[in-house]
Structure formats: structure tokens, C-alpha cells
Amino acid sequence: MKTYFALFLIATVSALIITPLIRRLCQRFKLLDVPQDGRRVHKSAIPRLGGIAIFASFILSLSVLPLVSNLLTDSLRPHTSEIFSILIPSTLVLLLGVYDDLRGTNAVVKFVALGLIASLFYAMGGRIEVLGIPFVGAVQFHPAIGFFITVFWLVGISNAFNLIDGIDGLAPGAALFSSLVILVVSLAGENPLMVVVALVLCGSLTGFLRYNFNPASIFLGDSGSLFVGFLLASLSVLGAQKATTAVAVITPILAFGLPVVDTGMTMARRLISGRPLFQGDGEHIHHMLLARGWSQRRVVMILYAVCAVFGLLAALSTKTSSPVTGLVLFVIAVAVIIAVGHLRYHEVDELRAGMKRTVGDRRVRVANNIRVRRASLALTKARSLNEMFEAVGNMLEFEEFAYANAQIGQVSHAAANERAFTQARKRGSREELEFVNGRIAWSWAGEGISVEDVIGSSDHWCFRLPLATANGEWGWMNLYRPLVGPPLLLDMNYLASLLQTELSEAAERILGVQPKHSGFDKLSLPVTAGKVAG
């Protein structure tokens, strides 16, 4: 136990001393992170090679072990190959991150390089071959599948920590909680190698956080986030090799809970919105919390609490049975979905609206579409203005629109229009009909709606159906709807094609005028929708 305490102390003190030295070198040689886009939340240039400080303190602490001879160091000697299988690939990842910090590289190159390094880790013996999956039991993987899962896990977790490194103290703090989980699980499993590595990493991160917490004077950079993420992922793989129970699945997932959730959300959002998967944006979880007006410190402390909850659940999962771990994962997944739903992601809101349209509104939408079809059929049989406007009025009873009006007829044939209007009045039409400027004017209003509430109002939008056949124009019909209100549960294509065609032909048939072909093509008529003009 004294050796454990000494290792932690050496790592912490080393980080406290080395970090300001690295910071000073970065300032001297202008190795700074300059805010040049909207994704960065810092306002001034900050040194960005903090990963070197963590790596140096980490290696310095481990280098003390060969100088000590006790029960702990004796127990580590059989694990020498495992130590190198962790250190060599992790060092290569650090160098990749340093290159990215200094020269910059695109996402494809970075992923390919990480994949090759992960393959090296697999070749050196770090691999996932057997996993205990809740409700399934132990599953033995084919070597090809095991290779893919191992590489995917290492690359995914490395980038997960890279993605959350967006505000001061978040990535190293989350990594510290993950390291503590691995430390607790390793102590319980009596795995000295993982205990030592996790403990030294805890010390290095603790010392570095002194300078990275808001307001940060140095950043992790890609060198630090990728190195820490890869190191933790490789430790979890070695832990999975020692456990074929459900712990091998649930513990790493929960230990990296926040990075995993943020990365999963990021990939899902970009897929849904059709954006490139590897294109950076400013919509990570911490960005969305900052958008609420919260300070960086408040956001970090809240996300630390989330990491602590995930870590506690991960530690407790080592004592539970397979069915219980499956239930725990399900409950956590539901809780995460609910929490993410309150972060105001456009993609989440659209998915929620889509589910509502599919499940809740589908019946109403189908019923409304059927109303339009029935009105169109009634229009094919209409032989008078009364029957024509009655069909349209019956359709509008679905209350998707607040107001409607129309003008029917050709001005050049005002006499024929007036005869049709007079016949409709004699038949005792229930519709609102007027004869205006040589045309028949019709209107319909929903319950409690008056024309003054709609015409000239900026609170409604208008959908206009121009009425025309091959023989010319026959007027128009406007449909009005409030700008603010529930979604329109109707396929507008039914109005713009089926209803528009049948209404146009009914107008031509009823007015009884067969003018010469004017060269007007009804297919060229646009269906317009716009805000109601005054």
C-alpha cells in the first residue's frame, strides 16, 4: 500500500512541476491554440501540448518501479509484456496527437493512424476474444470479429475523449473519473498491473487539472486527449480479458459513460442531419449547456457529477448478476435519452416530431387525406355551384384551415357567370356567395373565425390554388392557416394536384363556357404559399 501511495504522489507532484514547464515552452515557441472558429469557447491563445506533461509524469512515475524491490514489483514482473503492449501503442498515439497539434491533419489520416496503432496493440496481445453479454452469457468471437471489435473500441474511446475536450477541465476530469473506476475494479479483481497504471494515471491527471481547470492556462490538445483515451481503452481491454461475466461489457461502458454518450449523440446527429460524420461542430453536450447561459465552471461541475454517477454505477455493476446488469443498462439508456431530449437538439426534436407523426398523428392524417379524396370525387359529379362549394365546405370541416375564399369564372364571360350565380341563389345556397367584378366569390370560415381576423393579418399564411384547365383560367381558391399552432395533418400534394384538378374542371363544366384554347397550360401553374399580405 505504501508503494501505491508513493506512485500516486510521484505522479501528482511530477505533473504539478512538469506542466508549467511545458506551458512556458509552448509560449516561448508560439505553440498555442488560437481561437479561429465558433466551436472554440476560449478567447485568447492558450498553450496546447498538455498531453506531453501528462505523458512525462506518467512515464517518470512508472520508471521508479524497477528501482524498488517488494511484493508489488515482484508481482509485476510476469506482466512485463503487458506493460509494453500498453506503453508502446500509447506512446505512438501521443506522437500522433503531437503531430496533429503542431502541423494539423485531417480526420481520415487520424483514424487510419489510430487504426494501425490499435492493430499493433492487438498484435501485442491486447485483444477482445470473449465477452459476457447480459441475457446471453459468454460469447466467443471469431478472430476477425475480435480484431474488429478491439480496434473499433480503441479508436472509438480515443476519439470520444478527444470530442469532449471542448471546455476547460472537462476531458481530464472525465478521464480521472474513468481511471478511478478502473482502479477500484482492479483492486477488487487483484490485478496489480492495472492498479499501478490506473493509479499513476490518476496522479498525472490530478496534477494537470491544477492548470487545466477554468480558467485554463494550458490545454490537453489532441496529444493529451488521444493518449489518455487510448490508454484507458487499452486498460479496459486488458480488464475484459480477465472477466467473462457481464462486468466485461457494462463496466467499461459505464466507466466511459459521458464520452460514450456524447460521441454516440454526435454520430447520430450527423447521420440524421446528413452532415459529414467527422466534421466538427459546436453542438456537443457541453456546448448545449453553455448555450443555456451557464458558465464553464458550472457546466464542468454538472458533467463531473454525471461522470461520478456513471462511475458509481460501474463500480456497483461488478457485484451484480447478468440479468441485473442488463436491466441497469436499459434504465440508464432511458435516462440518457430523456436527459438528452432536454438539450434542445434539432435532430432530437425532429425525431420526436417524426415519431408523433408516425404513431400519434397517422390516423388523423389518413382521415384528412380521405376527406380530400372524397371532396375530389364529389367535385367530379358536381353540376352546380351549390354542389361544388358544398363539396369543398364539407372537406374543410377537418379544421386544418381557419378560412378559405375563392373567385370562380372568367371575367370575359361575366354574363354566364352571373347566370350561374343567380341559379345558385334561387336554389337557396347555404354557401357564402357574392357576385364581384364579373366573378362568383365564395368564402368559408372556421368556427369563431371572421374575415377580419384573417385577411390582412400577419398571423396567418396562405396557400393558393390557381384553377385552370386546357381551355383557360377559371379563378383561384385561397386556404388560410395560423402561423402558430399544431402541425398540418394533411398531405398538401392532394390539394395541389387532385383537388386542384377536379375543382378546375368542375368550374369549367358548371359555368358552361367553352372558350377558345388560350395556350394556357395548367401544368405550368404554380401552387403558391406565402404569408398573408395586407
Residues 376 and 302 in one domain: no
- The 10s digit of each residue's pLDDT in 244-271 is 444 456 778 888 999 999 999 889 888 8
In a domain, 346, yes or no: no
User: Could you tell me if 301 and 387 lie in one domain?
Assistant: no
- What confidence category does residue 518 fall into, taking pLDDT thresholds of 50, 70 and 90? very low
pTM over 0.75: no
- Of 313, 331, 349, the one marking the end of a domain is 331
Q: Do 63 and 207 fall within a single domain?
A: yes
User: Does 527 have pLDDT greater than 80?
Assistant: no
Q: What is the pLDDT of residue 38?
A: 59
Domain-located, residue 268:
no
291 shares its domain with 377: no
Q: Tell whether the torsion through CA atoms of 267, 271, 272 and 273 is positive or negative.
A: positive
Q: Would residue 350 count as lying in a domain?
A: no
All cell numbers assigned to 316:
456497483
Please give the angle made by the CA atoms of 229, 104 and 171, to the nearest 5 degrees: 25
pLDDT digit string (tens) for 409-449? 998 889 989 988 988 888 775 567 899 999 999 999 988 88
* CATH code (residue 468): 3.30.450
Mind listing the pLDDT tens digit for each residue in 468-483? 999 889 999 999 999 9
272 found inside a domain = no
- Taking 80 as the threshold, does the pLDDT of residue 147 lie above it? yes
Reported confidence tier of residue 532, pLDDT bands at 50, 70, 90: very low
What was the pLDDT predicted at 473? 92
| Order of strands, sheet of 403-408, starting from the edge strand that comes earlier in the sequence | 432-436, 439-445, 403-408, 472-482, 460-469, 528-531
Same domain, yes or no: 296 and 387: no
Q: How confident is the model at residue 252, as a pLDDT?
A: 83
Domain hosting residue 456, numbered range? 361-531
Give yes or no: residues 367 and 306 share one domain.
no
Based on the domain organization, do 199 and 308 belong to the same domain?
Answer: yes
Residue 347 lies in a domain: no
Confidence at residue 245, expressed as pLDDT on a 0 to 100 scale: 41
Q: Which of 14-23, 54-63, 127-136, 496-505 has the lowest mean pLDDT?
A: 127-136
More confident residue, 86 or 399: 86
269 lies in some domain: no
**Tally of structural domains, the chain:** 2
Instruction: Evaluate whether residue 510 is within a structural domain.
Output: yes
My answer on whether 141 and 209 are in the same domain is: yes
440 plus 304 within the same structural domain:
no
My answer on whether 78 and 201 are in the same domain is yes
Residue 271 lies in a domain: no
Task: Based on the fold, state whether residues 283 and 187 are members of the same structural domain.
Answer: yes
Q: Which residues lie below 8 Å from residue 271, measured CB to CB, with a gap of 6+?
A: 277
Q: Are residues 198 and 320 in the same domain?
A: yes
Q: Is the peptide bond before 466 cis (omega within 30 degrees of 0)?
A: no
Choose among 65, 53, 55, 44: nearest CA to 18: 53
